[in-house]
């Protein structure tokens, strides 16, 4: 048995289930990025249930998404990870928001980054976001993106 399989099997059952859920959410998010317009992707998602433990759930969901992204093809994309994390957070009753940022990589080249915030905590894309200026959020930001 490979080291990765042993490591996976050594996880608590709850973490294994969360990891698998994150992998499935990443595949769905990848399809969404390919097939759905960005303005629809960025619409707020309403949490489905009441949160049990916001800090613990958000941190574990972030771990699951970031870890599963190493194993799911095309899931290292920051927007894909943010969409998947948002879906899992909503499923666990936690509100979150996808943030978009833009940065200059050279004199004539811009790049973008997406990360996911739950309250004041960054769930996916942490660290990478520091090199990007965040775009406006809320209705005003969404209206700018839609036009």
What is the model's pLDDT at position 22?
96
26, two tokens: 């990443």
The list of the chain residues with pLDDT below 70 reads 1, 50-56, 138-147
**9 to 5, 6, 66, 80: CA distances (angstroms):** 6, 5, 18, 26
Kindly list the domain boundaries of the chain, sorted by start residue: 3-146
d(CA 49, CA 133): 33
What is the model's pLDDT at position 28?
95
Terminal-to-terminal C-alpha distance of the chain = 53
What is the model's pLDDT at position 4?
80
What is the model's pLDDT at position 8?
82
The pLDDT tens digits for 31-62 are 999 999 988 888 888 887 766 655 558 889 99
Element holding 6 (H helix, E strand): helix 3-10
What contacts 41, CB < 8 A, 6 or more positions away? 32, 33, 79, 83, 98
d(CA 65, CA 133): 23
d(CA 54, CA 89): 9
pTM listed for this prediction:
0.83
């Amino acid at each position: 048995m490979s080291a990765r399989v042993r490591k996976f099997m050594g996880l608590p059952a709850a973490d294994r289930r969360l990891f698998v859920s994150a992998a499935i959410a990443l595949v769905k998010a990848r399809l969404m990025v390919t097939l759905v317009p960005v303005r629809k992707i960025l619409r707020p998602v309403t949490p489905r249930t009441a949160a049990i433990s916001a800090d613990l759930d958000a941190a574990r969901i972030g771990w699951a998404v970031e870890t599963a992204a190493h194993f799911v093809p095309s899931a290292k994309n920051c927007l894909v990870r943010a969409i998947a994390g948002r879906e899992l957070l909503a499923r666990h009753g936690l509100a979150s928001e996808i943030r978009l940022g833009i940065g200059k990589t050279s004199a004539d080249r811009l790049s973008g980054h997406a990360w996911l915030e739950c309250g004041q905590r960054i769930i996916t894309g942490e660290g990478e976001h520091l090199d990007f200026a965040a775009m406006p959020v809320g209705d005003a930001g969404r209206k700018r993106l839609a036009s």
